């Protein structure tokens, strides 16, 4: 399709040309005329009549979504149409976790920004704990794929042409484990991941950190983190100062940090959970709807700091409304951050994420929230990838422009903006929606991860898998994904890993259960089959999965962090090799018994029979073994 663009803003005209491939159009004078003009309000109008197109827009970022809608409706062969929409929030965008091993390549980040422009976002947050450079601190982000100042500036320039504001999201109190682990940083440490407050060297460090994090960006906004500092003041600080309440330490620290941001003329956001916890009687209840906030407590929060209420654990709109109202009691309407659950799993948990997001977004509208973000965390190494969350991102975008989101329109927009049908994205959730998981359940469960990484000889999850047809589920899902795939889709490659995961889990999910049963029953024929047919075949499938995952990683991300996945896959293969040896030694009589299989199997998760899932673990090392991987003192 050819379109002849006409508009006064030549800079935006050039930006639109950057999107030609994403729109699947050519901007050429011989094409369909499309006149773009600025309106006097926030409403965008898109018209097509008499073979000519017209767009009136409010803000620059509206243009790119509007042109996409224009092309989308032309593709639907409509002879004429009129579309009108107005934004319902002031700011909306995703937050990319760039601190859990995945650091997106610059070229891939640019492709993502083009998709965000078509969807209609006007911001994006870069969550960087230590993945940016501070030249005075060479160990900050050392060997972690950190972005250089020039790389961040390049991203900011690229986003700016689409009217997208990039906002650095950093940490100025906790979640700094990966920097504080270095001996060179020991003098800055209170506990394992928390900075030592009330010390001049800490604030010298933070001044350089905040300056380095914000300098590459046009935005004057910065998110300073400060969430989940549970052990604040309980390490070296306690030794030096004695007991001081966390609230007192935190408010004093925040005052010093905001003195730095004020000197740099920055507008500050921070996560709200620590303040909400500290306002509760126990000091530990995160986002308790029964919490009563006193007038005295409000004085602990500086006037110029915006609190960010993050929550993606509930599907009830009233829950979110109640917590937004609690935040309002602290002085102002909060910024709200939801999430698409793509962390701690190979799946993207659309079954829960979409319900939680719908409730959160509707509550935000009703409570007059003006700023909304959607978090894309990557906890515990980040086996997943950002593109798998695009259906969820599109939902947030549609809520920005619609009081009520029509599912058909949302699905169509997703396919237009990403090139992938919504139904294909929804296949990803089935990696965790296995037999034994109740439909509509709300308990966390991540079998796609723990079934892959758990050891077949130890079987730490096996007790709760008995009687479930997991092999049949993954075999069918593997075929379903294969049938949905299309090599002409530019993002099709991200379905290769889920397909290969299914191929592995169809063979591995119940292998430990089968092995234990055959051993207990002294079924020599089954033991021989497992050791000499099933395990070798499974090892080949694991190698194929590893190769696919590595190709995807190196396509999307910097290489740093992949070594963690190499080690995990290597561990699976090594333990399968050992299992093969142990069983064959037993069968030959060399080994009188297999100690690992003599052990009674117990549930990994307490009260699993009362849960709607089949188990959950946050950490790989707990899935792989109940034994000690490493020893870290919790405080120091």
Residues 26, 96 within the same domain: no
Residue 206 resides in a domain: yes
* Residue 60 · residue 123 · CB < 8 Å: no
DSSP per-residue string spanning 92-108:
EEEEEE-SSS--B-HHH
- 402: CB partners within 8 A, 6+ apart: 85, 88, 409
Residue 550 has pLDDT above 80, yes or no: yes
Q: What average pLDDT does the segment 501-514 reach? A: 98
Residues 205, 233 within the same domain: yes
User: Between β-strands 81-85 and 44-49, what pairing exists: parallel, antiparallel or unpaired?
Assistant: antiparallel
Residue 121 resides in a domain: yes
Residue 173 has pLDDT above 90, yes or no: yes
Residue after which a domain boundary falls, among 419, 440, 456: 419
Residue 633 resides in a domain: no
Q: What average pLDDT does the segment 117-141 reach? A: 98
Residue 635 resides in a domain: no
Residues 408, 307 within the same domain: yes
For the question of whether the overall pTM of this predicted structure is more than 0.95, the answer is yes
Residues 98, 78 within the same domain: no
When divided into structural domains, the chain yields a total of: 3
> What span, in angstroms and rounded, lies between the C-alpha atoms of 625 and 549?
23
In the structure, what pLDDT confidence band is assigned to residue 633 with cuts at 50, 70 and 90? low
Residues 39, 157 within the same domain: no
What pLDDT score was predicted for residue 278? 87
- Residues above pLDDT 70, as percent of the chain: 98
Residue after which a domain boundary falls, among 389, 419, 449: 419
Domain that holds residue 7: 2-85
pLDDT in tens, 237-289: 999 999 999 999 999 999 999 999 999 999 999 999 988 888 876 666 667 78
Residues 141, 97 within the same domain: yes
Tell which wins on pLDDT, 150 or 287: 150
Residue after which a domain boundary falls, among 41, 66, 85: 85
Report CA-CA distances (Å) from 454 to 245, 354, 432, 462: 41, 29, 15, 9
The domain that holds 79 is classified in CATH as 3.30.160.230
Q: What average pLDDT does the segment 431-443 reach? A: 95
The domain that holds 135 is classified in CATH as 3.20.20.80
In the structure, what pLDDT confidence band is assigned to residue 318 with cuts at 50, 70 and 90? very high
For residue 313, count other CB atoms closer than 10 A to its CB. Answer: 14
The count of C-alpha atoms lying within 13 angstroms of the C-alpha of 322, restricted to the half-sphere facing its C-beta, is 11
Residues 66, 178 within the same domain: no
Residue 427 resides in a domain: no
In sequence order, what are the beta bridge partners of 375? 95, 339
Residues 228, 359 within the same domain: yes
DSSP state of 45: E
Residues 381, 452 within the same domain: no
Residue 224: is it exposed, middle or buried by C-beta count within 10 angstroms (0-12/13-18/19+)? buried
Residues 79, 95 within the same domain: no
What pLDDT score was predicted for residue 294? 82
Q: What average pLDDT does the segment 560-568 reach? A: 98
What pLDDT score was predicted for residue 281? 64
Residue 583 resides in a domain: yes
* Residue 447 · residue 470 · CB < 8 Å: yes
Residues 415, 480 within the same domain: no
Residue 80 resides in a domain: yes
pLDDT in tens, 602-628: 999 999 999 999 999 999 999 999 999
What pLDDT score was predicted for residue 631? 62
Structure tokens at 429: 């959730």
Residue 634 resides in a domain: no
Residues 479, 589 within the same domain: yes
What pLDDT score was predicted for residue 297? 87
């Amino acid at each position: 399709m050819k379109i002849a663009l006409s508009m006064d803003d030549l800079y935006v005209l050039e930006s639109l040309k950057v999107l030609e491939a994403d729109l699947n159009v050519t901007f050429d004078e011989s094409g369909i005329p499309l006149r773009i003009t600025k309106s006097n309000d926030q409403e965008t109008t898109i018209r097509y009549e008499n073979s000519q197109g017209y767009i009136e827009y409010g803000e620059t970022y509206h243009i790119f979504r509007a042109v996409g809608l224009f092309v989308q409706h032309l593709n639907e062969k409509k002879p004429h149409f009129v579309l009108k929409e107005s934004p319902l929030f002031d700011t909306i965008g995703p937050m990319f976790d760039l601190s859990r091993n995945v650091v997106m390549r610059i070229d891939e980040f640019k492709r993502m920004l083009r998709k965000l422009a078509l969807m209609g976002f006007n911001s994006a947050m870069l969550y960087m704990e230590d993945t940016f450079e501070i030249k005075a601190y060479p160990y900050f982000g050392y060997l972690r794929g950190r972005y250089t100042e020039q790389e961040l500036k390049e991203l900011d320039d690229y986003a700016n042409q689409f009217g997208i504001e990039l906002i650095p999201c950093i940490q100025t109190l906790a979640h700094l484990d990966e920097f504080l682990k270095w001996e060179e940083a020991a003098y800055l440490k209170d506990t394992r991941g928390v900075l030592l407050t009330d010390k001049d060297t800490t604030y010298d460090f933070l001044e350089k950190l905040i300056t380095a994090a914000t300098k590459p960006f046009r935005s004057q906004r910065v998110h300073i983190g400060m969430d989940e500092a549970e052990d604040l003041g309980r390490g070296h600080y306690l030794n030096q100062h004695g007991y001081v309440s966390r609230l007192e330490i935190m408010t004093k620290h925040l005052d010093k940090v905001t003195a730095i941001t004020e000197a740099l003329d920055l507008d500050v956001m921070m996560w709200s959970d620590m303040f909400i916890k500290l306002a509760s009687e126990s000091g530990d209840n995160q986002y308790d709807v029964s919490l009563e906030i006193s007038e005295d407590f409000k004085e602990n929060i500086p006037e110029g700091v915006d609190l960010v209420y993050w929550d993606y654990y509930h599907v009830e709109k009233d829950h979110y409304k109640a917590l937004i109202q609690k935040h309002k009691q602290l002085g102002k309407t909060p910024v709200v951050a939801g999430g698409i659950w793509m962390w701690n799993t190979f799946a993207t948990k659309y079954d829960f994420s979409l319900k939680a997001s719908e409730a959160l977004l509707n509550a935000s509208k009703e409570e007059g929230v003006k700023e909304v973000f959607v978090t894309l965390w990557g906890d515990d190494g980040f086996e997943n990838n950002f593109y798998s969350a695009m259906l969820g991102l599109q939902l947030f975008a549609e809520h920005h422009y619609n009081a009520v989101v029509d599912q058909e329109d949302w699905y169509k927009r997703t396919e237009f903006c990403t090139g992938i049908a919504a139904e294909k994205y929804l296949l990803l959730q089935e990696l965790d929606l296995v037999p034994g998981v109740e439909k509509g359940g709300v308990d966390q469960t991540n079998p796609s991860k723990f079934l892959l990484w758990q050891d077949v000889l130890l079987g730490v999850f096996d007790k709760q898998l008995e009687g479930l047809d997991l092999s049949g589920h993954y075999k069918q899902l593997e075929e379903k994904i294969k049938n949905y795939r299309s090599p002409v889709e530019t993002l099709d490659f991200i379905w290769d890993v889920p397909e290969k995961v299914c191929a592995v889990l169809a063979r591995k999910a119940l292998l430990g259960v089968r092995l234990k049963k055959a051993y207990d029953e002294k079924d020599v024929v089954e033991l021989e089959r497992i050791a000499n047919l099933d395990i070798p075949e499974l090892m080949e499938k694991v190698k194929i999965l590893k190769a696919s995952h590595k190709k995807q990683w190196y396509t999307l991300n910097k290489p740093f962090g992949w070594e963690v996945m190499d080690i995990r896959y290597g561990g699976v293969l090594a333990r399968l090799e050992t299992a093969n040896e142990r069983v064959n030694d037993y069968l030959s009589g060399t080994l009188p018994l297999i100690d690992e299989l003599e052990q009674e199997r117990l549930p990994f998760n307490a009260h699993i029979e009362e849960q709607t899932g089949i188990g959950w673990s946050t950490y790989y090392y707990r899935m792989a073994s109940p034994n000690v991987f490493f020893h870290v003192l919790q405080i120091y």
